[in-house]
Structure 1
Amino acid sequence: MRTLFVSYRVTELDRSLGFYTALGYIELGRVEAGDGARLVILKFPDEPAASLELVHRPGDGPVEVGSGFDHLAIQVELLATTLRVLAEAGLEPEPLQYPGGPRGPKTSWLTDPDGYRIELVEWPSGHPDGITAADFA
């Protein structure tokens, strides 16, 4: 088994699409789900398949974040460059952080229009992609 993608319910689809495309996602396709509901499937350009689905169900009312979901983590190559590009696109990333000390990963956070938190992570040189059991040794 493997995870296919994360799905977020969003209040205003166009606003959320603007945010996620500024973050770097591209649209793979859309599905009309009936009763005005729409699904938009996204991925980063270098990903082989979908990694994020935005679900817009206007009949369900606005999204209320905080019912258990914490955040989405996204790996980036060079965090300082990513933060500059995001700021130029009108997004507001938080300052660079070093949660594991100066030799650990670099992180920053931003919040999407519905309040979902996103952690941007740059691994130290030589670290494998993602978190592995070696990170807990």
Structure 2
Amino acid sequence: MRLLHTMLRVTDLDRSIAFYTDLLGMTLLRKRENTQYRYTLAFVGYADESEQAVIELTYNWGTHSYEPGTAFGHIAIGVDNLHQTCETLRKGGARITREPGPVKGGTTEIAFIEDPDGYKVELIQQGT
């Protein structure tokens, strides 16, 4: 077994694709429209689905808001230079909700940003 993808419901598919590809550097791997059931799926990731888990962005046509709830936490992405990544994302318009710094009670450096629908994305400094 292996993890295949995580699905996020989005309210503006093009805006979400731009966030994950333009700002976070993922690739749009595939996109599929279902006219009968009125939804579009877009899969984004850093590698092909055969190699690693990806994110499925689901747009249900005509839906303009969601209640994410309190159970979902965040997506985590490892980065080579946390401070530089945050500055680049800030300049690109990303909302940084936790500035870079050590995790509470530890030494791992992290930061948090939000995607256009308010989903949290944790950025984790890789290596030292």
Structure 2: 5+ residue runs without aligned partners?
none
Calculate percent identity across the aligned residue pairs.
35
Secondary structure at the residue paired with 1:56? strand
Q: Does the 8 Å CA contact 2:40/2:61 hold for their aligned counterparts?
A: no
One-letter code of the match for 2:40?
R
Find the counterpart in structure 1 of residue 76 from structure 2.
73
- Select the structure that is richer in helix: 1
Describe the superposition over 1:25-64 as per-residue Cα deviations: whole angstroms up to 9, x where unpaired: 1101111123331000111259844511100012555221
Secondary structure at the residue paired with 2:85? helix
Q: Does the 8 Å CA contact 1:104/1:123 hold for their aligned counterparts?
A: no
One-letter code of the match for 2:45?
K
Q: Distance in 1 between matches of 2:41 and 2:48?
A: 22
Q: Does the 8 Å CA contact 1:7/1:53 hold for their aligned counterparts?
A: yes
Secondary structure at the residue paired with 1:95? strand
**Superposition pairs for residues 1-137 of structure 1, below 5 Å?**
1-21=1-21, 22-34=23-35, 35-44=37-46, 48-49=51-52, 51-93=54-96, 94-99=98-103, 104-125=107-128
Q: Distance in 2 between matches of 1:20 and 1:110?
A: 12
Structure 1: 5+ residue runs without aligned partners?
126-137
Q: Distance in 2 between matches of 1:46 and 1:97?
A: 31
Q: Over aligned residue pairs, what C-alpha RMSD do you find?
A: 2.3
Query: Displacement of 1:92 after TM fit?
Result: 2.4
Q: Does the 8 Å CA contact 1:28/1:50 hold for their aligned counterparts?
A: no
Larger CA Rg, structure 1 vs 2: 1
Size of the aligned set, in residue pairs, is 124
- Select the structure that is richer in strand: 2
